[in-house]
Amino acid sequence: MFKGSYVALVTPMLPDGKIDVPSLKRLVEFHLNNGTHGIVAVGTTGESATLPFQEHIDVVKLIIEFVDKKIPVIAGSGANSTAEAIFLSEQMSGLGVDGFLSVVPYYNKPQQAGMVAHFNAIADATDIPLILYNVPGRTVADMLPETVAELAKHKNIVGIKDATGDLSRLEQTKKMVADDFLFFSGDDESGCNFMCKGGDGVISVTANITPKIMSDMCEAALSGDFELSQQLNKQVIDLHRVLFVEPNPVIPKWALYKMGIIDDAFLRLPMVLPELNSKKAIEEALSALNLI
């Protein structure tokens, strides 16, 4: 189903706050030309938290149009309100998305039983495959392996994006679910090791900047060439780290702007442009990779 390097795509914006459609098209073409295996549209890296529903849906629709069925598109459909997540899923079900990615509700801090009820309700509302997203560093609430195993019983819940960086979670959870349940790393720094230990892919912020290296790394790992996978990962290990010196997607947007792929690094408030030291750090990393 879904395998390899999926980019957690940023959403280009203009200084007046509108979506930068030409930059978005150029960004999608950048990924189509550099081996990205799939796109996650308007996930948390795409600033889903600050896009109104209609704008969220419109951006997903544009990405599907630009991709033109060449690679899968997974749409972010998460919300900390179950009703809102269901509404988004229903509204996007007819757009041609290949899957949904839904994050653990943030701020609410739901109990594990609440997470089960939340995701089962979303999965009941559509027949499109749903990937769970656990990122306790952003949501505070942590979805435990036992909860994942319970949710994996639902026919529409097909995998998880795990951004904990805890590789023991992969081994622990794999023992509890069917062999075809998918595991994506959501932590770029440990993503290569995650794949070498049996993961199916990465949903990557770094792939915004170096899609070819990330797709090659994933293909090597999936083919069992772990030595090559590690070698490729070493090329971007510093980039993995510097992309998160400020909250995501502040640094990735600045990097893409400096590379000339998007026309502006504008972010929706409360996010703002990076500090001078952060700009210097990412520009040094990009120079080291001959990207600027």
- Cα–Cα distance for residue pair 105/115, rounded to 1 Å: 8
- Residue 257 bears catalytic tag: no
- Cα–Cα distance for residue pair 234/290, rounded to 1 Å: 15
- Residue 161 bears catalytic tag: yes
Selecting among 6, 106, 161, 253, the annotated active-site residue is 161
3-state SS, residue 165: coil
Structure tokens at 254: 């600045």
C-alpha 192 chain-centroid distance: 15
> Which positions make up the binding site?
45, 203
Closest CA to 80 of 47, 109, 43: 109
Encoded amino acid at 210, one letter:
T
Selecting among 25, 61, 70, 133, the annotated active-site residue is 133
Residues paired with residue 132 on neighbouring β-strands, in sequence order: 102, 160
Closest CA to 126 of 151, 97, 150, 162: 97
C-alpha 175 chain-centroid distance: 24
Closest CA to 135 of 161, 108, 157, 114: 161
> Which positions make up the binding site for pyruvate?
45, 203
Structure tokens at 21: 């459609």
Q: Residue 227 carries which DSSP code?
A: H
Q: Specify the DSSP element, H or E, that contains 276.
A: helix 276-288
Residues classed as catalytic:
133, 161
